[in-house]
Amino acid sequence: MGGYLRTEGFNRSVDHVVRSRSDIGLVGLFNSNYGNCLTYYALYSVLRSKGKSVTLIGSRGPLSFKAFSRMPYPLSDLYYDPEDEGNVACNDLCDVFVLGSDQWLRPNILVRRDYYPLMHWVEDSKPKIGYAVSFGVDRFTSDRGVRIRTGTYLSRFDSVSCREDSGTRIMRDVFGMDCAHVLDPVFLPEPGFYEQLCKGFDARVPGSPYVFSYILDPTAKRMKFVSDAKERLGLAESVNVYDALIKRAKVPEELIGLATWSATVEEWLSFISKSDFFITDSFHGACFAIIMKKQFAVIYESWQWRGQTRLDSLLKMFGLEDRMIDIGDSQKVEKVLGTRIDYKKVDKLVSKERKRSLGWLDKALEQAGSGPHMYNGFGYLEGRIDELMARCADLQSEIDALKASHAYPVLPVGRKIDLEDAKDLGSYLNALRADPGDIVIMMSVTDDASRGWSMARFPEDICPEIPEELPYRSGFAYISDPGSGRCVSDAEGHTKVSYSLGGIALVCESQGFVDIHNHGFSEFTANGSTLRAEGRGLNIAVYSKSERAFVDLVSVDLFAKSTEIVRKKD
């Protein structure tokens, strides 16, 4: 409080305490991912160091920071009011709103969260800043309605910067807005900030030289690479940590014993800080390798690599593109493991970019408080949209009630078509070709695919006019009637397509990737009977015309190298 009193004066300090007011409302997507925890803690700390009072505002539910060994924030700086739907009351508590970094602006996250990250719930009169926001991808792939609504909300921001150079291109080319390219918030604190944070949390750090790996997507090949690198570098031990959000049940059994589990944020930092070589497939892993001046490698497999856009932008900024390794490229592996990074050159670039990024933030904060904000009528239009949406929901309920009373009977799931012997996607689709006139095929994608997928897997005779991007676009929905040669589909986000079959309404609903907690869902409905699949993958439901019932529901993991099918149980 003393620092705030010195920088802001007596009157504002009293207002802050008595009325629980804050200079800044920091809006974020908070979870237990190590990078996520630290990107918000870094931005919060930097804003506090500038003498600003800060309130953290999440999108849903009370904020929790169990990934830390100790609570990093004063409880008074966390906002949660169960009676304040949409956090509208924050308008009376915060003077300026800042949207933090991480992948808030992925199209499917925006749609799933009802555009919450774009702060449509913040009044026109309140300044809005986006610092180092991220689209998470190198192109904004969504339908026209999503683009228009996103652009409208973005136009209300006073200042926006992106953490990837691809993000600045999206802002310019898709939304017609100038946007600065800045560092992720983890780079903004003073040197030594993280060493102080993790001080005293090194009990599990080996006493002998070791290689440390932080792997978001553990595979047998990646973990073998870590083991081989330890031998190649002549190090005594290896310590492997998977992301805090990964559950043991999701990790291949043979890889579970290789990991150090339940590492806290502070322990994770200690493992990096004291390591002799660092291997990762993570954007924030690479960030902290650079911050802590580690010899490191970013690994990937050509068929499976998320985060390429983010990593390309980061490493290019510091001239470290050659630290990325396709673990199948033996020559590149030897070169990277045998070449040391000259951090004198890198540190100069980091210092320069840090100064520029802090300068952008200072200017954005200064301009945000420089004058009154005029009302543009947006709040009124939002209110009218909410009213119309509520009316649409009422009408949909009436429609659902009418469907439920439809004369056609709902039959139990049958097995007229023998699909039991099909073990992978190719053989499964071939089995469906045996009786194309009797079936309707419904497909839904609930997460982005890896690079290893090929459109050749979808035969034209039973999947006519299938969009080329189907397996690559999270939230895609598709219905095919091979007997008639007709099909319907819709684009990324939260989509729903319907198809009329002799008076029976077939509906395929697809919710794409939201965050690491929620990979989306697929829902298939026919005449009131519904099948649902959750988790990432390409989900396929098969409906039999003769039985007037679903006869199968299977899923294929889009991140797996194989196309093995998993049959969903009712």
Q: Which residues contact 270 (CB under 8 A, 6 or more apart)?
A: 198, 201, 202, 205
Q: Are strands 477-481 and 439-445 parallel, antiparallel or unpaired?
A: antiparallel
Q: What is the mean pLDDT of residues 536-553?
A: 87
Q: What is the mean pLDDT of residues 361-377?
A: 76
Q: Check whether 197 has a pLDDT greater than 50.
A: yes
What are residue 2's DSSP bridge partners?
A: none
Q: What is the mean pLDDT of residues 17-24?
A: 72
Q: Which residues contact 207 (CB under 8 A, 6 or more apart)?
A: none
Q: What is the mean pLDDT of residues 388-396?
A: 80
pTM score above 0.75 = no
Query: Which residue would you say has higher pLDDT here, 113 or 207?
Result: 207
pLDDT of residue 145: 82
Pairwise CA distance, residues 259 & 48, whole Å: 36
pLDDT of residue 377: 59
Share of the chain above pLDDT 90, in %: 45
pLDDT of residue 10: 47
Rounded (5°) CA angle 149-152-157: 130
Where helices occur in 234-307 by DSSP H, the ranges are 253-256, 265-273, 283-291
Q: Check whether 308 has a pLDDT greater than 90.
A: no
- What does the pLDDT look like over 464-521, one tens digit per residue? 877 666 655 667 888 999 988 888 877 555 678 889 888 788 999 887 765 555 567 8
pLDDT of residue 229: 95
- What does the pLDDT look like over 113-148, one tens digit per residue? 889 999 999 998 899 999 999 998 888 877 788 889
3-class state of residue 252 by DSSP: coil
pLDDT of residue 459: 83
How far from 22 is each of 2, 65, 76, 367, 369, CA to CA, in Å?
Answer: 15, 21, 11, 17, 13
Q: Check whether 382 has a pLDDT greater than 90.
A: no
3-class state of residue 489 by DSSP: strand
Q: Which residues contact 113 (CB under 8 A, 6 or more apart)?
A: 59, 514
How sure is the predictor about 1, in pLDDT bands with cuts at 50, 70 and 90?
Answer: very low
